Amino acid sequence: MGCFFSRRRKPAQGGQQQPQGTGQDAVAGEQTAPQYSWDLRAKIDPKDYTFSGLKNETVGRLPGKVAGQQFVIQDCEDCKIYIFDHSATITIDDCVNCQIFLGPVKGSVFFRDCKDCKCVVACQQFRTRDCRKLEVFLCCATQPIIESSTGMKFGCFQYYYPELALQFKDAGLSIFNNIWSDIHDFTPGENNWGLLPETAVVEDYVPLPSSEELKAVRVSNDAAKSIIPITRGQRQKNSDESCLTVFFAGDYTTANARKLIDEMTSKGFQLVQTKEVLMKAEDAHRVFQQSALEFIPLLEKGPVVALEFNGDGAVEQCQSTINEVFSGTKVFVSEGKASASQDVDNFYNFAEMQMGM
């Protein structure tokens, strides 16, 4: 029996096969096999997206070499591992005394049964289980989770290389959504985690790559160049005075926010937290109160970027800087010291509800 796509030729009279045609006749007589979309996809070799069983090695992937695929790191010891690209998810199992950099991960990063590792990680979700003594410079869009893990230390992600900003976008991550220090411990009752010193320097934990291939990435560990704004997170504030500043969507929103951060931190004020989130008209009344009607039309243009600064005189200095540097830009700034703390609480309570935290 012929298959569905086969064609049976009728023999010529006398039992002889009719001769095949040539040229257009031959082409017309041939039955071409159909092509499907899955036949056209590039073949994925899992080995290209796995580091396994390595010891005393420096390995990595250059920008463009992972391109959103899943990655697995397992059974590595005394290794330096660098993933300079964005990925879908990454699992790290049974690694000991490794130094690991992971570029932006669209989904989850999951450490299991690892110990004595130092890491720089950017992801949507961060989880550990059965780990011991991990020191992590983290950017995480959702609450980091640890389970059955001890000796965990966390700091704010600080890293730069030229392709990193675009990789964050490809992974669907905002550089302003980073709650690195808001750890949820599924094994309460013990002191399982803490924060790295404020003076901690990435280079002392995960040094720059030494191999000639990976040096080409042009990495900088200079905190001032970090693609992620460095925030205090859950550390105790130095002052009772905080100021909320909100930039509305536009061509220069990110640049303006970064400029204000530079201006304020250079004057000794501390950046506590940042957030990028969509707002609706009904949200404006809750957050901006008497100024809501002025800002409602701007909310339709896209997400807002909010910054919280802390320090004595933060409100006055922030208002002064906005007037001097951003005079032509619509910006919400806390209007006075008395209402500033309430403005901060109103916005971040709204943002947590909006983002499902």
H helix intervals, 219-336: 253-266, 281-288, 292-295, 314-325
Residue type, 322: I
Please report the DSSP string for 197-226 in residue order.
-TT--HHHHSPPP-SHHHHTT--B--GGG-
Residue numbers belonging to the annotated binding site for GTP: 107-108, 124-127
Spatial distance between the Cα atoms of 179 and 351, rounded to a whole number of angstroms: 12
Residue 296 CA to residue 282 CA, distance in Å, equals: 9
Looking at the chain, list the stretches that DSSP marks H as alpha helix, in order from N- to C-terminal side.
Answer: 24-29, 37-40, 164-170, 202-205, 212-215, 253-266, 281-288, 292-295, 314-325, 337-354
Name the residue among 315, 309, 320 with its Cα closest to residue 334.
315
Query: Residues forming the annotated binding site?
Result: 107-108, 124-127
Dist CA 104 CA 167 (whole Å): 6
DSSP strand pairing (71-74 vs 304-310): unpaired
